[in-house]
Structure 1
Amino acid sequence: MKAGSNFLNAVSAVALSASMVVTGGSFATLVSASVAEAATIRSIQVRGADRVSAETVKANVTIVPGKSFSNADIDASVRRLFATGYFSDVKISVSGSTLVVVVNENQLINQVVINGNKKIKDEKLVGLLRSQSLGPYSETAIEADKQTIRDAYASIGRSDATVTTQTYPLGNGRVNLAFVVDEGDRTKISQINFVGNEAFSNSRLKAVIVTKKSNFLSFLTRKDVYSEEKLRADEEALRQFYFNNGFADFQVISSEAVLDEASNEYVVTFTVNEGQRYNFGGVNVESTVEGIDSEELKGLVESREGKTYRAKDVQDTMSAISQRVAANGYPFARVTPRGNRDLGNGTIAVDYLVDQGERAYVERIEIRGNTRTRDYVIRREFDIGEGDAFNQEVITRAKRRLEALGYFSAVNVTTAPGSQSDRVVLVVDVQDQSTGSFGIGAGYETGKNGGFKIEASIEEKNFLGRGQYIRVSAGTGRNSRDYALSFTEPYFLGYRLAAGFDIFSNKDESEDYYTLNTKGFNLRVTAPITEDLSTTLRYSYARLDYNSSDLDELSTPYQDVVENGPWVRSAVAHSLTYDTVDDRTLPREGIFAQITQEVAGLGGDSEYYKIYGKARYFHTLMEDADVIGSLAVSGGHMWGFGTTRVYDQFTLSANDLRGFESGGIGPRATRTGDSLGGTTYFTASAEASFPIPGIPRDSGFRGAVFVDAGTLYGNDVATDPTPTTGDGLKGTGMSLRASVGASVIWASPFGPLRFDYAIPIKKEQFDEVQRFKFGIATQF
């Protein structure tokens, strides 16, 4: 009785106050208590719960029998119950020693359907909605869902889409819910203007930003879709472009998009202040960290005195110094660049100060905005995790990796205070973008065995949001059939190892005397050594089947070379790749170099050792005119230590030496004229590409002029000697071939396409020429 008396005394001090709250269009009464002194209860009674169990209600009440509670506990319980979405009204009161919770249940949604949508599929929209089948009917959630659908349509350029809802009562507190979509017309971008730019033309700046003016292909590329996020990304792209071209004071004053509702078109305007152009002045490194030698760090500096100021050089220097210092046992070290502008000379002297920095740790990493890409795909690009020392350079490097993936239209990494003064929360905001593509290309090869060739492919760079790469392709032509499947897991077994396989089947009928069918697979794994250097190990297995109806015309030695198969080639190869190219689609700066050694003889019928490599250098020759130059070289040599066959030797393709057919130069059988390949080759190429005058740069068309040179010579294939030549071969000498030509390149929605016209200016009489070539463009 004493306990009950104490409880009644406590309750007698409670003054109940009611407040009316509008939730989802209905009124909910919240009864809260102003408790003068702590109160306790013995039990909780739930009333009005029918479809929702009483235990579910009690689980969302913060008040526990036997423990004291206050008005704050009552308010918290009411909020938690409303947050479940199951209730339209909640009342909490005290009756004797019992806490009484009275609820009015929301209706339950039996089924959710979307009507009127054609441009976006049902499954994609339904996956974005808060309102789900067998879930509660909530006006608040429905309003949020309507906005979500409108946002989804805005992302594909239909900003004027409208969404309404219809409900169909089924009885017993259940309803069917329909979202009715009026997709409206597609919003376009009629103009993109720049104000305040003098160093660079409007056309050059339009090539920098992601947003593009509408054209006849915009319905495929979707680059003319306006959004605030893309506008912010364009601002950052402009800043980086100017910062990397000497304009350290550049500012985007404003960016705005004005919609003409009559035409449903945006006019986008960027107002900029370019500022002065700078070169690097004196560069120095200072360290206050004991045990760190400043002189040793100077060798890591990318910013050189006299060079055009580039923010990228400063960032790369900071990253290199930070990594070196952290490797020496100073994980909290901080690298701070200090710039000293000399306006008269137009220079910026940069001092890199290395100090110990504040001790801070990463408390957690929050991922936001990813609707498709899985969290772990983003987290694994960070070289730090929860509990590790906070290092700004590591964060910056992770941001660059995320941007390089191509999965996101925008990446932003910020920090927030943690639970303690030495704790930091990393906040990673991303926006998923389309990563799948369908490609189609066509080519035409001239010559006696020429003809059209068509290739189609489907590619996905972020398969199922797991970051995996998959590509399926098929090609057919007058003399060939090609099929291929490739798959790559970029983080094999949780490590930064890109493991994958390729399965292929090729049929080649281009030669006069035989057909070659090849089927096989590659297994490969690539591991990074540094940010720019990687190593690849590959195993290849191929089954090659010669099939010739003309073998009787050949003497015995040559029959051994082209004997009907099958033959098996089993080889292992190791490659080193150095890659600093800034853009895989349209590279303007950087080097791509690769060297490979390959050994065949692990079983099979081929026995040889090969070493071959290629390198290409890109450099912008005229920034505003957007003229890009490139130099490329390649070469290789093989040593046979057993029987060497035709398919083991090197051949040069029409991409290696334009103006000549694939297999069009090099050693040939005297009697048949068939290409046998060679043991050694060299090629060199120089090219300059530029926007085509009179054609908008947004269209993706560029022109190019080029000079190619190369040779293929040497032979290890035994052939039938003839009375005329004595060795049954021609073209084994180191004879140089060369060509000049021009190209039209189109960055089409189906992939980069290229038309080449080349004129051989140095060739042999027996070479096979191909002046016209049209097909999928390749850079590497």
Structure 2
Amino acid sequence: MTNRLQGAKPTAKTRRLGHRARVLATTTFLAVAAPIAFVGAPVLAQSYSFQKVVIEGNERVEPETILGFAAIGKGQSLGAGALNDAYQRLQGSGLFQSVELIPRGATLTIKVQEFPTVNVVDFEGNKALKDEILSTVVKTQPRRIFSPALVEADAAAIAQGYAEAGRLNVRVDPKVIKRSGNRVDVVFEIKEGAVSEVNRITFTGNRSYSDRRLRDVLGTKQAGILHRLIQRDNFVADRVALDRQMLLDFYRSRGYPDVEVTGVSSEMTRDREGFFMTFNIREGQQYHFGTTTVVSEVSELDAADFEGLIKIRDGAIYSPAALDYAVTRMEEVALRQGANFVRVDPRITRDPRTQTLNVEFALVRGQRVFVERIDIEGNTTTLDSVVRREFNTVEGDPFNPREIRNSAERIRALGFFSKADVESRQGSSADQVVVDVNVEEQPTGSLSFGASYGASQGFGVNASLEESNFLGRGQYLGVSIGTTADNQSNSIDFIEPHLLGRDLKGRIRLWYNTSESDSTDFDTKMYGISPSIEFPIARNSRLELRYTWASNELSGVTSQADAVADADIDDNYWSSWALEQEEGKRDSSAIGYTYTYDTRRTGIDPRYGFTFRLSQDLYGLGGDVEALKTTALLRAERKVFHEDVILRAELEGGAIAARGGTALTILDRFSGNGKIRGFESYGYGPRDNAANNEDAMGGKYFAALRLESEFPVGLPEEYGIHGGLFFDAGSVWGLDNTGGGATGGNEIDDGFNLRTAVGFSVFWDSALGPLRLNFSKALQKEDYDLEQSFDLTISTKF
């Protein structure tokens, strides 16, 4: 907010503010004009030559400074015009409240009255914007020379700041209080007025998408019952242009190239405390891609080499992103083949009869222009290198406008800047270009406090400190501390996104977790460290390589003999014989990788996204464990019914296989926690049926299918409340040893016993943070499973 307020220009509504400052400026002008008019009359027809200049009235300004502004030399012949010029220079210096030139023979007397200095700048009546914010808006500062014009401009800037916060009825009255020693106090009296809210947002001309769906697109929201908790329902005039562009981008990405927002009407209510907004839309027709071809107008490039780079299916819905990706791929290949100054022009011809767009990608020779230099301004904390590394272009490279635009998008995607403008201008010669990067920084750190509640875990709190631009180097540092009634989790995470100056993400993670759970008859302590590197292998694919060292300890196991011998222990309650064998501490050392393919952010069609992730860790590079652990996840998301409903499907599974005679423990196996809703932690899977407490044992394998839908529930969308239905199915199974207790035989059921559950969810993007309530019912389960019919999670940031 602070950066947005700096340099604000007064609007028509704010020009009427600062009345008292204008009165003060007018009074000062009259006080100055009267002496010069009086003195100027007798000198109009005379010329002078002064041998002596006497200066009176100055307190802080040195005589030499005054003589420098006057520029009157000893013995110099002067006329009335020269004296007037001297007066104008002195008055224009901004140092004096009044100036008087009095010629007496060969002596010129310069009488000045200095502007007072500002003693204190204060704000009264402000509640919505604190003093800390307003002090960065005004340019009048203590211990500086008082300027009535500057005070008036400050009043207008304060009013503009309130207008951006949705308070258009603000009144700002500057007061000047005289103090001894030619000092003044400047006090801005503020009457904030009520917030100007957006009472209603409507659309005209929209046939393909409902008003509800389009309102979701806008950054501005309309007020409702909970308007006190919703900040985006304030009317901000500067936000209208952004909302307009967001609507255009929404339609164009869905196949409407001719869409127009012909007008935006913002009508103030009669009480002047709200607005009615209407967006007039002309959708046009939805188009699909027709035929796509490539032609080359560059002799050394063969069009056939580029046809396979189009990757646009005939009949697919038109998308500007699809064109941009195809052009980028072709230009990259042209550069690799050594053809500089080549650009790809997509030439589009439309067929209104079939509503298709035929695209001809033309390889053409562009103008020979080079990048002379890249200038970066506005970054006070962030290092230049952090911005510069988002450019694939360096000084001396051929100028590629598309690459410069892509670099600008990457800079904005960093999240370090509230504004990032990248423009080019002609350099020192016609074949040179200077790239100007102007940014405005924004806060990148957050201190978060959260709360959670689960039927099995109870109430929990957590705190985390995150900085995504650590020391201005673009690094990420996160510290997290969490606790529930039974568990504690602590972690430190550090990420260097450009290790060695390349697109190579370096990461190191440390953790320390403990648990003393009543739902399982054992305690755990786990800590470790995992350094890793991650790099791209394709547009949507990344690969992470890592090393993990961990120490896991299982304790608190009660044997049957201890239960019988100790009178304080219920002799009908003891741990599984399997847990007795697994008790103790073990260290592990592993190398692993994770391959990720994700189209959710870079996909062409914004209506659906696809994610695939495969991870493997090989244990045995030292330590006490030799095993191979594999997990995989397949996720898909689709928006249907004019994108009002979101459908999600996830298929996840994993397996761990022991090697070298290693006996896996419950801390190595899968627990199924969070995989299937409707069951408690360690609530399903292999269980020792012979043990009196039926201890959960975990399993070597797990599989889970999760189907979910999210949809509106009829409430205004600005409340952020949606409903959902889900169906989960899966199991945890498989043990190396299922018998051998006191009675021998097969005591543990480790078979694949399918569990299913259904339920509904309530999602709420509340002012306190994202909140989710799950109400579930297990349909298919075993008699020993532990159900959980309700779960609530909530987190908040301050």
Measured against the shorter chain, the TM-score band is 0.7 to 0.9
Contact 2:346 2:362 in 1 (8 A): yes
- More deviation, 745-754/523-532: 523-532
Which of 697, 700, 703 pairs up with 1:679?
Answer: 700
Which of 100, 110, 129 pairs up with 1:120?
Answer: 129
Answer yes or no: is 1:714 the counterpart of 2:731.
Answer: no
1:234-633 aligned within 5 A:
234-260=243-269, 262-363=271-372, 378-385=387-394, 387-406=396-415, 413-422=422-431, 423-426=433-436, 428=438, 436=446, 438=448, 440-445=450-455, 450=456, 452-457=458-463, 462=468, 466=472, 469=476, 471=478, 473-491=480-498, 495-496=502-503, 497=505, 499=507, 501-548=509-556, 550-551=558-559, 552=562, 553=574, 558-563=579-584, 565=585, 567-582=586-601, 588-601=607-620, 604-624=623-643, 626-633=644-651
Task: Quote the residue 1:775 is aligned against.
Answer: 793
Equivalents in 1 of 2:597, 2:167: separation in Å? 43
Q: String of CA shifts for 1:105-140, please: whole Å, max 9, x gaps.
A: 654434433333333333333234333333343344
For the residue of structure 2 that corresponds to 1:675, the secondary structure is coil
Contact 1:492 1:499 in 2 (8 A): no
For the residue of structure 2 that corresponds to 1:324, the secondary structure is helix
Which of 735, 756, 774 pairs up with 2:753?
Answer: 735
Equivalents in 1 of 2:389, 2:94: separation in Å? 35
For the residue of structure 2 that corresponds to 1:769, the secondary structure is coil
Which of 217, 220, 224 pairs up with 1:215?
Answer: 224
Shift in CA distance, 277/165, structure 1 to aligned 2, threshold 3 Å: same
Task: Quote the residue 1:204 is aligned against.
Answer: 213
> How far off its partner does 1:174 sit?
4.2
Q: String of CA shifts for 1:446-474, please: whole Å, max 9, x gaps.
A: xxxx3533344456565589455555555
Which of 738, 741, 763 pairs up with 2:781?
Answer: 763
> How far off its partner does 1:568 sit?
4.1
> How far off its partner does 1:205 sit?
0.6
Which of 640, 645, 660 pairs up with 2:679?
Answer: 660
For the residue of structure 2 that corresponds to 1:240, the secondary structure is helix
Answer yes or no: is 1:142 the counterpart of 2:151.
Answer: yes
For the residue of structure 2 that corresponds to 1:358, the secondary structure is coil
For the residue of structure 1 that corresponds to 2:667, the secondary structure is helix
Equivalents in 1 of 2:385, 2:130: separation in Å? 27
Point out which structure has higher relative CO (alpha carbons under 8 A, 6+ apart). Answer: 2
Unaligned runs of 5+ in 2: 1-22, 37-53, 72-84, 102-108, 563-573
> How far off its partner does 1:88 sit?
6.7
Q: In the alignment, residue 543 of structure 2 is paired with which amino acid?
A: T
Answer yes or no: is 1:752 the counterpart of 2:774.
Answer: no
Contact 1:372 1:432 in 2 (8 A): no
> How far off its partner does 1:385 sit?
4.7
Shift in CA distance, 458/223, structure 1 to aligned 2, threshold 3 Å: farther
Which of 633, 639, 663 pairs up with 2:657?
Answer: 639
> How far off its partner does 1:386 sit?
5.0
> How far off its partner does 1:212 sit?
0.6
Equivalents in 1 of 2:229, 2:375: separation in Å? 34
Task: Quote the residue 1:13 is aligned against.
Answer: none
Q: String of CA shifts for 1:347-395, please: whole Å, max 9, x gaps.
A: 1111122212123334555667889977765554333355543222223
Equivalents in 2 of 1:56, 1:730: separation in Å? 96
Q: In the alignment, residue 781 of structure 2 is paired with which amino acid?
A: K
Shift in CA distance, 379/23, structure 1 to aligned 2, threshold 3 Å: farther
Equivalents in 1 of 2:616, 2:91: separation in Å? 67
For the residue of structure 2 that corresponds to 1:770, the secondary structure is coil
Q: In the alignment, residue 453 of structure 1 is paired with which amino acid?
A: F
Q: String of CA shifts for 1:450-499, please: whole Å, max 9, x gaps.
A: 35333444565655894555555554444334444545454456554354
Equivalents in 2 of 1:59, 1:298: separation in Å? 73
Q: In the alignment, residue 558 of structure 2 is paired with which amino acid?
A: D
- More deviation, 102-111/674-683: 102-111
Shift in CA distance, 617/479, structure 1 to aligned 2, threshold 3 Å: same
Q: In the alignment, residue 634 of structure 2 is paired with which amino acid?
A: A
TM-score by structure 2 length?
0.77
Equivalents in 2 of 1:58, 1:592: separation in Å? 75
Q: In the alignment, residue 680 of structure 2 is paired with which amino acid?
A: E
Task: Quote the residue 1:184 is aligned against.
Answer: 193
Contact 1:157 1:187 in 2 (8 A): yes
> How far off its partner does 1:320 sit?
2.2
Shift in CA distance, 688/301, structure 1 to aligned 2, threshold 3 Å: farther
- More deviation, 428-437/316-325: 428-437
> Cα RMSD over matched residues?
4.4
Equivalents in 2 of 1:328, 1:48: separation in Å? 77
- More deviation, 286-295/496-505: 496-505
Shift in CA distance, 493/287, structure 1 to aligned 2, threshold 3 Å: same
- More deviation, 370-379/135-144: 370-379
Q: In the alignment, residue 454 of structure 1 is paired with which amino acid?
A: G
Task: Quote the residue 2:170 is aligned against.
Answer: 161
Q: String of CA shifts for 1:288-309, please: whole Å, max 9, x gaps.
A: 2333332232222243211111
The structure number with the bigger radius of gyration is: 2
Which of 745, 748, 751 pairs up with 1:726?
Answer: 745
Answer yes or no: is 1:131 the counterpart of 2:140.
Answer: yes
Q: In the alignment, residue 711 of structure 2 is paired with which amino acid?
A: F
> How far off its partner does 1:339 sit?
1.3
Equivalents in 2 of 1:385, 1:360: separation in Å? 13
Q: In the alignment, residue 770 of structure 1 is paired with which amino acid?
A: Q
Shift in CA distance, 364/477, structure 1 to aligned 2, threshold 3 Å: same
> How far off its partner does 1:721 sit?
0.8
> How far off its partner does 1:147 sit?
3.2
Shift in CA distance, 363/305, structure 1 to aligned 2, threshold 3 Å: same
Q: In the alignment, residue 679 of structure 1 is paired with which amino acid?
A: K
Shift in CA distance, 749/524, structure 1 to aligned 2, threshold 3 Å: farther
Q: In the alignment, residue 761 of structure 1 is paired with which amino acid?
A: L
Q: In the alignment, residue 686 of structure 1 is paired with which amino acid?
A: L
Answer yes or no: is 1:224 the counterpart of 2:233.
Answer: yes
Q: String of CA shifts for 1:325-354, please: whole Å, max 9, x gaps.
A: 233334532222121111111111111222
Shift in CA distance, 389/104, structure 1 to aligned 2, threshold 3 Å: farther
> How far off its partner does 1:249 sit?
0.6
For the residue of structure 1 that corresponds to 2:306, the secondary structure is helix
Equivalents in 1 of 2:92, 2:329: separation in Å? 49
> How far off its partner does 1:274 sit?
0.5
> How far off its partner does 1:190 sit?
0.3
Equivalents in 1 of 2:321, 2:542: separation in Å? 21
Shift in CA distance, 417/313, structure 1 to aligned 2, threshold 3 Å: same
Equivalents in 2 of 1:163, 1:485: separation in Å? 47
Shift in CA distance, 738/463, structure 1 to aligned 2, threshold 3 Å: same
For the residue of structure 2 that corresponds to 1:283, the secondary structure is strand
> How far off its partner does 1:724 sit?
5.5
Shift in CA distance, 104/296, structure 1 to aligned 2, threshold 3 Å: farther
Contact 1:540 1:572 in 2 (8 A): yes
Task: Quote the residue 2:720 is aligned against.
Answer: 700
Contact 1:230 1:409 in 2 (8 A): no
Equivalents in 1 of 2:92, 2:597: separation in Å? 54
Q: In the alignment, residue 270 of structure 1 is paired with which amino acid?
A: F
Equivalents in 2 of 1:407, 1:531: separation in Å? 23
For the residue of structure 2 that corresponds to 1:598, the secondary structure is strand
Contact 2:493 2:509 in 1 (8 A): yes
For the residue of structure 2 that corresponds to 1:647, the secondary structure is coil
